[in-house]
């Protein structure tokens, strides 16, 4: 039986990856320190013999007994509200955590896939973003802790590949959504859906003309799976190129949820990228991958999930207010 270590396993993407690799017949070793993850996302797997869980912070030395065939490094805070709250951990898990896991991959002769991000393109001056674009990142802005950790992560991964011959894969993940997103992570989809469920107005930041392209989680996981199994070592964008402005998206959510609330406008967070759309030519050519789930179907499934959450969970949601921070 192939053995795979998944870090950030109790998070949104990590938990879906655990499900997928269990389904593919792997022995899954899940690791998380639960700073932003939640055991609820993987508790259904605890009864399985081919699943084990380690509570561990990967910025400390990582020890896993026995053989390892694959490592997926998905541990990281991944939303602007988290970068503001836990900036040092964000830097450490991308830098020190990645170093530890590359060391483990080298020791075990395992293939390692690193979760990178469209954030490495920053506020992009090239549109749509191809893998060859170097990005436009503010190193000292509020997102710098994430963006630069992820850029360092890519560099050290390529160094381990070139210098030590470690088998590495790098996925650049664009905005992804679906069941198990954290309701209070401040991201636009949980924010709008939570507001609709609580009967609050939907908060659009800025004038809403900024764009994003949202990929349903099942599509994202399929792309990651194919990349891991491929022999391609340079970064690959995995995301849905179907782009929408945030104000049009708010209207879509109003229609989908049937809320009678309206859109209200708040300050735009500092360094919020104006546009984002993946060029997925590489993923199509190399992996034969493209997204299959449209926004309407994906958002419907996601809203069904948020509707199952209790009132307590709904009330716990924090609101992002960047007006003070922006002044600094
Ligand atoms: N956004 C918004 N209202 C919210 C939360 C987010 O208008 O309540 C905007 C945010 O400013 C950004 C976009 O939605 O332009 C996507 O934000 P998210 O945090 O989901 O992802 P990211 O900016 O990292 O792509």
Q: Over its length of 328 residues, how does the chain's per-residue pLDDT go in tens digits?
A: 999 999 999 999 999 999 999 999 999 999 999 999 999 999 999 999 999 999 999 999 999 999 999 999 999 999 999 998 999 999 999 999 999 999 999 999 999 999 999 999 999 999 999 999 999 999 999 999 999 999 999 999 999 999 999 999 999 999 999 999 999 889 999 999 999 999 999 999 999 999 999 999 999 999 999 999 999 999 999 999 999 999 999 999 999 999 999 999 999 999 999 999 999 999 999 999 999 999 999 999 999 999 999 888 888 766 555 555 554 4
pLDDT of res. 259 = 93
Compute the Cα dihedral for 226, 118, 148, 189 and give only its sign.
Answer: negative
pLDDT of res. 227 = 99
- Token look-up 């509570």 returns 55
Residue nearest to atom 18 of ligand 1 (CA): 187
pLDDT of res. 326 = 52
Q: Which atom of ligand 1 is nearest to the CA of 191?
A: 8
Tell which residue, 274, 249, 242, 266, has the closest CA to residue 323: 266
pLDDT of res. 325 = 52
Residue nearest to atom 1 of ligand 1 (CA): 188
CA of 194 to the centre of ligand 1 (A): 14
CA of 42 to the centre of ligand 1 (A): 27
**Catalytic pick among 121, 146, 160, 177:** 146
Q: How far apart are CA 282 and CA 237, in angstroms?
A: 8
Tell which residue, 196, 191, 163, 145, has the closest CA to residue 307: 196
Given a contact cutoff of 8 angstroms between Cβ atoms, the answer to whether 7 and 60 are in contact is: no
Task: Please work out, in degrees rounded to the nearest 5, the angle formed at the alpha carbon of residue 81 by the alpha carbons of 76 and 86.
Answer: 55
CA of 267 to the centre of ligand 1 (A): 11
Ligand 1 neighbours, Cβ below 6 Å, are 79-80, 175, 187-188, 191, 203-205, 210, 212, 246, 269, 272
CA of 221 to the centre of ligand 1 (A): 22
Residue nearest to atom 12 of ligand 1 (CA): 272
Q: Where are the alpha helices (DSSP H) in the chain?
A: 12-23, 80-85, 87-92, 98-108, 144-164, 188-198, 217-229, 246-257, 281-282, 295-307, 311-315, 323-327
pLDDT of res. 314 = 84
CA of 320 to the centre of ligand 1 (A): 10
Within 13 A of 77's CA, how many CA atoms are on the CB side?
25
Q: How far apart are CA 305 and CA 179, in angstroms?
A: 5
Tell which residue, 203, 134, 182, 162, has the closest CA to residue 306: 182
Residue nearest to atom 21 of ligand 1 (CA): 187
pLDDT of res. 279 = 98
pLDDT of res. 62 = 98
Residue nearest to atom 3 of ligand 1 (CA): 204
Q: How far apart are CA 44 and CA 94, in angstroms?
A: 28
Ligand 1 pocket test: pick from 82, 188, 278 the residue with the most ligand atoms within 8 Å of its Cβ: 188
- Let me know if 177 is a catalytic residue: no
CB 70: neighbour CB atoms within 10 A? 22
Does this model's pTM top 0.85? yes
Given a contact cutoff of 8 angstroms between Cβ atoms, the answer to whether 69 and 90 are in contact is: no
């Amino acid at each position: 039986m192939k053995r795979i270590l998944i870090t950030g396993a109790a998070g949104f993407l990590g938990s879906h990856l655990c499900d997928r690799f269990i389904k593919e017949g792997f022995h899954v070793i899940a690791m998380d320190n639960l700073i932003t993850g939640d055991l609820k996302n993987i508790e259904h797997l605890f009864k399985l013999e081919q699943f084990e869980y380690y509570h561990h912070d990967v910025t400390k030395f990582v020890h896993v007994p026995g053989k390892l065939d694959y490592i997926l490094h998905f541990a990281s805070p991944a939303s602007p509200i988290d970068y503001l709250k836990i900036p040092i951990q964000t830097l450490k898990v991308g830098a020190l955590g990645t170093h530890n896991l590359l060391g483990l991959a080298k020791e075990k002769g395992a293939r390692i896939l690193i979760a990178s991000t469209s954030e490495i393109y920053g506020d992009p001056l090239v549109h749509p973003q191809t893998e060859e674009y170097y990005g436009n990142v503010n190193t000292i802005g509020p997102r710098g802790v994430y963006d630069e950790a992820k850029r360092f992560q890519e560099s050290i991964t390529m160094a381990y590949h070139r210098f030590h011959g470690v088998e590495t894969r790098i996925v650049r993940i664009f905005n992804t959504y679906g069941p198990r997103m954290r309701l209070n992570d401040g991201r636009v989809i949980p924010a709008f859906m939570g507001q609709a469920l609580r009967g609050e107005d939907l908060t659009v930041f800025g004038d809403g003309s900024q764009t994003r392209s949202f990929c349903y989680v099942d599509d994202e996981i399929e792309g990651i799976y194919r990349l891991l199994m491929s022999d391609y070592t340079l970064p690959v964008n995995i995301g849905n190129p179907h782009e929408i402005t945030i104000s049009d998206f708010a209207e879509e959510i109003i229609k989908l949820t049937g809320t009678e609330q309206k859109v209200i406008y708040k300050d735009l967070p500092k360094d919020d990228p104006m546009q984002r759309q993946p060029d997925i030519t590489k993923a199509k050519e190399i992996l034969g991958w493209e997204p299959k789930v449209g926004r309407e179907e994906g958002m419907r499934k996601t809203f069904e999930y948020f509707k199952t959450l209790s009132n307590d969970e709904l009330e716990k949601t924090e609101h992002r207010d960047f007006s003070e921070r922006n002044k600094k």
